[in-house]
Structure 1
């Protein structure tokens, strides 16, 4: 059984404590594998993941909390953030300048049957220019493939070289000019899918990594929301979802339609424990959509109350996590939507103030940010939703990412 950890008060003050000084051998540049293991020069390979919570406050100050030794470090300052996305290593923060990229310096490489864990020096990588609240689409690998950015005000569709990011460089594989409006650039292996058109006539178009069209065009009316699973990359559509995958030089896309005997609003965003095949999204106020990408099937579950976010843990007990509008975290049964456990109203003040708490699930714990309350919670969802640790923060954690996963 896991040992219960007493509540800890921890001030996330700039420069309070340096990161752990644990030493691990670095990998010389001429010994780094070309691909397949996620290693880069000057990175230490570790025996276990070095998980942390990396936060950005409203002024752009970035702090990193090491969840192993509870040390805190200051990673620097960017512009005032308006939004943030992450792939578990990089933070892509939307500011007035565009997308500012932060490398947390910790990551996991998923090699299907095993994992590799790394740590390098964290750093601010710079800015990708563009206008508007950009949509960011990532893969589950932080040293290969691409990262997609779509700037709605300028219509710029950008694919970044993620391998270059891992070396501290921002390199655009392509930048396409589209009419202003919302859209997505979704990386799929060495390819990318770019939305085209508007509303019911919207399609996704296949592109190579240098921006050339592949000839693949798939209907995806009202395209919204994307996530990468172990099976493939999901793009939400009004009539279902596209599941895309790449094998060598071949890009394939298949449609997973919503069930014809169920009427509920489509999911417009998805979340899960990273890499797992099942993803969850809200069906408006009518319940929870579960998409099993292995079975190519949808399930509509009831919600216990009004929820603002859901995530599929997809563990052996098929747990789901839900954040309620009144600030509670629910652990739900993925088979029927019944309540397994729930917390108290941990982020009631944040929800009432219109803030956006972040709820993240990993294999062992869930993490919940409380911007107004200035706290970060660690929740053992398999143990009656017990709050195992609470970290008090000196400033508002406006945006939070679990990094190192």
Structure 2
């Protein structure tokens, strides 16, 4: 049944939501799965069911959480007006004029490989990390351990945050390294991080560092690095000629190179997206197609685009589904083997795309979520059921950025 719900603030509403199981970590030794805490944090409640919600920030910086179980809404607080957003499934990292402001949604999942633990706590606006210029944020799939990387383009500062401290409401920098300014990356990998380096303002390589900022001696070429994502296999960094796949082996940081297929002329992927933690990731090959990277098989596949696209994400389920957002506002369900269209919606976000309002398309185990900022709507889509619109939520303000949290 399709329903339409108006979002409004409920005083004292409890953030309780329903979520798909969050997937894994960057390699066996960096998963933290042997941690006796199992993702527990003092003051948090462990619950029997997975949590799921949509946490949004409007154009003025107001932060709200939609509980997808009881459809209540909680006002969390305010940040400065955002220009971009990154999430790890618990925290929201909002780009502002002065750096990155961090919101804790208060819901998360701990992946223990063969089972999961689910938690909820009070949401909060945690504070900010100062920095100059566009910031690239890289996270892992665990929200109570490891690190979170931030690379500031104008200053060149490479910052690694202590994610365990974040889980306690504290913003603590493990290191801040000065580099030549460039559009780079700081990618956490277990107790290490890969940091891009540049020449003449263009990224040329990545170098390994310990969590306290000491160089490990590992260095790998990576021209024009762009895009990063963590799967259950490892952390991916996009390069002009392919990708680097990093994981921790024992006490050592390891990096493998996965080159694009020989003879390819398609543009490299500039970003990657998937159902969190799954081995397969997807990215646009410019206007020429869709790159699929199977991190388990260490292989690329180039699929044709059925129509001009603005975003693509790999569901990586048994059916091999891909989800794509078309330039005309339709959501497409694609066959991961040949790129053919299996189902599609009507043009849901045409107004947002024509006004550069940046819709967000998110996939989880059972549903997809699409924000329609200009239309003041959020859509829940059952992609396995012919792209059926399962629920539609009206929003009181423009949901400029939306993250699925609790996963």
TM-score normalised by the chain length of structure 1: 0.94
Residue of structure 1 aligned with 2:4, choices 8, 17, 21 = 8
Contact 2:196 2:203 in 1 (8 A): no
Distance (whole Å) between structure 2 residues aligned to residue 355 and residue 125 of structure 1: 26
Q: What residue is the counterpart of 2:297 in the other structure?
A: 295
Q: What residue is the counterpart of 1:179 in the other structure?
A: 180
> In the superposition, relative to structure 1, how do residues 308 and 386 fare at CA in structure 2: closer, same or farther (>3 Å)?
same
Residue of structure 1 aligned with 2:314, choices 308, 312, 315 = 312
1:329: how far off?
Answer: 0.3
Distance (whole Å) between structure 1 residues aligned to residue 296 and residue 267 of structure 2: 23
Q: What residue is the counterpart of 1:29 in the other structure?
A: none
> In the superposition, relative to structure 1, how do residues 223 and 70 fare at CA in structure 2: closer, same or farther (>3 Å)?
same
Residue of structure 1 aligned with 2:253, choices 242, 251, 255 = 251
Q: Encode CA deviations 1:87-126: one digit per residue, 9 max, x unaligned.
A: 0000000112211000000001111111111101101111
Aligned positions, number: 390
1:36: how far off?
Answer: 5.5
Contact 1:201 1:219 in 2 (8 A): no
| 3-state SS in 2 of match to 1:197 | strand
> In the superposition, relative to structure 1, how do residues 146 and 21 fare at CA in structure 2: closer, same or farther (>3 Å)?
closer
> Unpaired segments of 5 or more residues in structure 1?
23-32
Structure with the larger RCO, 1 or 2 (CA within 8 Å, 6+ apart):
2
The two structures, once aligned, show a CA RMSD in angstroms of 1.5
More divergent stretch after superposition (112-121 vs 204-213): 112-121
> Unpaired segments of 5 or more residues in structure 2?
18-33
Residue of structure 2 aligned with 1:272, choices 250, 267, 274 = 274
Distance (whole Å) between structure 2 residues aligned to residue 89 and residue 200 of structure 1: 32
1:200: how far off?
Answer: 7.4
Distance (whole Å) between structure 1 residues aligned to residue 399 and residue 331 of structure 2: 18
- Where does 1:92-171 land on structure 2 (aligned, <5 Å)? 92-171=93-172
Distance (whole Å) between structure 1 residues aligned to residue 402 and residue 310 of structure 2: 17
Q: What residue is the counterpart of 1:206 in the other structure?
A: 208
| 3-state SS in 1 of match to 2:55 | strand
Distance (whole Å) between structure 1 residues aligned to residue 168 and residue 384 of structure 2: 38
Q: What residue is the counterpart of 2:192 in the other structure?
A: 191
Contact 2:182 2:198 in 1 (8 A): no
> In the superposition, relative to structure 1, how do residues 255 and 34 fare at CA in structure 2: closer, same or farther (>3 Å)?
closer
Q: What residue is the counterpart of 1:44 in the other structure?
A: 45
Contact 1:133 1:151 in 2 (8 A): yes
